[in-house]
Amino acid sequence: MPSRPEADDPRLGDVSEGRILQAILTRTPAASHTLIGPGDDAAVIATPSGTVVATTDTLVHGPDFRLAWSSGYDLGWKSAAVNLADIAAMGARPTALLVALAVPRDLRLSFVERLADGFRDACAALAPGCAVVGGDLTVSDVLTVAVTALGDLEGRVAVTRSGARVGDVVAVAGELGHAAHGLAVLFGRFRDGDVPVPVDVSKLAAGESAALAAQLRPSPPIGLGAVAATAGATAMMDVSDGLALDARRMAAASDVTIALDRSALGDDPERAIAGGEDHALLATFPEGILPPGFRVIGRVRPRGAEDLLCDDLPVDLSGWDPYRDWDSVAG
């Protein structure tokens, strides 16, 4: 997007809250099931099934994204995608997003316009019918995007992470390890000492552009959440913190052991197991049931000494923990 003259792109501290909100809301049209949208104290959303699935996620500048690497559009897209994936992982259809922004005064108006464009386009591409229906705006020294997502089960029973049964197949929809590859590219190529520098696409090697897209603008298979639930998934969750950590969570919740097949994890099994932020859907299905879009990566076994095995060996890789791992990645 071409840069605008500063006169047409004021800093947020130089304009009113009303103008900022207008810039956002004109870019995020209401969905058909939005009975009352932005403008009142709260939105009203139709829920035909009578059940609402809700989740929330917060992205903070520093630990969750860097402005040197993420455009406003990237940030809006990713903020939507990570929340849509959590709704899909319950077997629901995303219906609405509530977005709370804490923004620095010196940020340009064009940034929040592009942020809104990212939200709009992510919803249109990943979860048609979902839209931003409201939120909040405040000032902060640190850019923060907090999103609450709502979904409709449409008569289905919610699929939790605690339902995996012995004999089930373990399957995944979406990519594993690509976002971690993208993060490694960012930290490896686009830093000057400890300072992130803007991405120069001319420096990208073959395959790195796709890895960066997976990190900065993920496209999880949102529609397959409802497909899995309809097909009879016994357990499901969003792989946000890496297969190692999230599969352990599913195994512990279900009181089983999950045994992965290394040969089913692609060309880089370690990165597939340990990497996070792809937001693939991890699910278990009864033997003989595997809906389109899912591929088998393992089996559910009776509870043993380990929550997680790979080729019958304990998995040492632990997955992504921002409180423990960020400094090691950044360093």
Structure-token match 């509870």, residue found: 303
User: In the predicted model, what is the mean pLDDT of the chain?
Assistant: 90
State yes or no: pLDDT of 40 exceeds 70. no
Asked whether residue 153 carries a pLDDT value surpassing 60, the answer given is yes
Q: Tell me the mean pLDDT in the region 154-163.
A: 95
Residue 206: count of CB within 10 angstroms of its CB: 6
Provide the pLDDT for residue 36. Answer: 79
Residue 257 CA to its chain's centroid (Å): 26
Per-residue confidence (pLDDT) for residue 323, from 0 to 100: 43
Count of all residues that appear for the chain in the document: 331
pLDDT band at 326 (very low <50, low <70, confident <90, very high): very low
Q: Which of 70, 69, 113, 118 is nearest to 97 (CA)?
A: 118
Q: What pLDDT sits at residue 318? A: 64
Question: Is the dihedral angle over the CA atoms 262, 264, 265, 269 positive or is it negative?
Answer: positive
Identity of the amino acid at 136: D
Nearest residue to 38 via CA among 47, 46, 30, 50: 30
Q: Among 25-39, 78-92, 177-191, 228-242, which stretch is predicted with the lowest mean pLDDT?
A: 25-39
Q: What integer pLDDT is reported at residue 43 of this predicted model?
A: 73
Contact 225, 89 (CB under 8 A): yes
Question: Would the pLDDT of 115 be above 60?
Answer: yes
- Rounded CA-CA distance 54/152 in Å is 9
What does the pLDDT look like over 85-98, one tens digit per residue?
A: 999 999 999 999 99
Q: Quote the percentage of the chain above a pLDDT of 90.
A: 75
CB-based contacts of 52: which residues, under 8 Å, 6+ apart?
45, 150, 151, 152
**pLDDT above 80 for 246:** yes
HSE of 299 in the Cβ direction (CA atoms, 13 Å)?
8
In whole angstroms, give the CA distance from residue 214 to residue 78. 10
Residues 6+ apart with CB under 8 A from 317: 242, 244, 270, 273, 274
pLDDT of amino acid 328:
44
